[in-house]
Structure 1
Amino acid sequence: MEVIINKTLVFIVFVSLILLASCSADGGKVTAGDVLKRNEDADVLKYNGFMYNNVTDLEWFEEMKSNIQKGKEIGEIKKVTTSSLFFTEFSATKLPKRTILYDTGDGKTGIIIVETEDEETLYYMQLLEG
């Protein structure tokens, strides 16, 4: 009887660990599914495994803009989609294909700069699980 209880306990612990591991399979990163489930009209992009949200017009971001400078090119948008299943690296919901993405040039991570064809500068901030 004691052997059955020990095997059952080991099985329960094993299943619990698998469930915990699968829940954090995305490494705690915000996914396209997370974002689009909350706001199907979100203006986001995916770069380096992270989701970035357009913060250009947010009031609290206004002061920060003047301290951010465009750095080197880091890639370009390859796909436009609102499907979380097909939201891969360099995908975006609003930016057109071939839109160039830039880093900030100061070595700080978390912000991507985009210059549109209309010469408008857009800022995307990395979304973190919190």
Structure 2
Amino acid sequence: MYKRALLMMLLFSIILAACSNQKAPRESKTVNDNPTPEDILLENENADIFLLNGIVYSNAEDLEWVTEKELTLGNEIGEIKKQTTNSDEFENYTATKLLVGTKIYEPIENSDIFIVKVDGKEIRYLGLREG
């Protein structure tokens, strides 16, 4: 009887150990979670985005309400430091399309839009936020 119980416990331990090696499924997002570079690039591997202060900003040239919004170019707040399409390498001031050295400006008006200058042209990027 003792050998049988010991054998059952050993078998049970092996099964538990085998199961613990599996990757845990990705936790589902709550309503207030902002999208990550990984979220965006999984949906569109050609997305034109950059990361700033933990917020993903996406090229908003095709959003009429963003392009029509009256904004005045304000202070430079930084520049792109890294370019990659690998979401694991994203950190603040990393972009998928913008070149290293591209300046990022904050409009004088308080908004969730930043402006970059590329070849003298102003391009607006909208912060992607949930909730």
**Could you tell me the TM-score, scaled by structure 1's length?**
0.73
Tell me whether 1:31 sits opposite 2:54 in the alignment: no
Q: What is the aligned counterpart of 1:57 among 41, 57, 62?
A: 62
Identity %: 40
> CA deviation digits over 1:4-55, x for unaligned, max 9?
xxxxxxxxxxxxxxxxxx6569x71210001000000000000111000000
Bigger helix share: 1
How many pairs were matched up? Answer: 105
> What's the CA shift for 1:115?
0.8
Contact persistence 2:67–2:124 (CA under 8 A): no
Bigger strand share: 2
Tell me whether 1:69 sits opposite 2:72 in the alignment: yes
5+ residue gaps, structure 2, are 1-26
Q: What is the aligned counterpart of 1:44 among 49, 53, 62?
A: 49
Kindly report the root-mean-square deviation, in angstroms, between the aligned alpha carbons of the 2 structures. Answer: 2.0
Q: Distance in 1 between matches of 2:111 and 2:54?
A: 13
Runs ≥4 residues deviating over 6 A: none
Q: Distance in 1 between matches of 2:53 and 2:111?
A: 11
